[in-house]
Amino acid sequence: GTFGGFSGSQSTGALARPAPLRPELPGKRGFLSRHKTVGMVIGENGAQASALMGNLHTALKALEEDIASDERSLKEMNSNLGKIQQEADRLGRQIATEEAV
């Protein structure tokens, strides 16, 4: 109904609710959070994203170093395995010759 020229379902005009200053962020109900502008929120989000990218870059470098270290270890292990296999073959031939005598 209409009361004093105002319709309860009215969405435009002098009595319309103003648009929110910023998007509603779930869980962000801290001190003065209602008064942040969209620019302030975007700035904070940009700073957080930048910090996250820095952390990810550091973690990626550490992973790459770990992978390189693991590859060096694998090469060394393969080399040692080859030497052990050669020694085992040599011992097998030596045992076979001694048994044949």
CB-side neighbour CA atoms (13 Å) of 1? 2
Of 33 and 64, the structure prediction assigns the larger pLDDT to 64
Q: Hey, what are 69's tokens?
A: 């270290």
Which one-letter DSSP state was computed for residue 12?
S
Of 24 and 78, the structure prediction assigns the larger pLDDT to 78
pLDDT, tens digit (0-9, with 9 covering 90-100), for 36-88: 788 888 889 999 999 999 999 999 999 999 999 999 999 999 999 999 999 99
Q: Residue 73's pLDDT is what?
A: 98
Q: Residue 94's pLDDT is what?
A: 96
Contact between residue 6 and residue 25 where contact means Cβ atoms under 8 Å apart: no
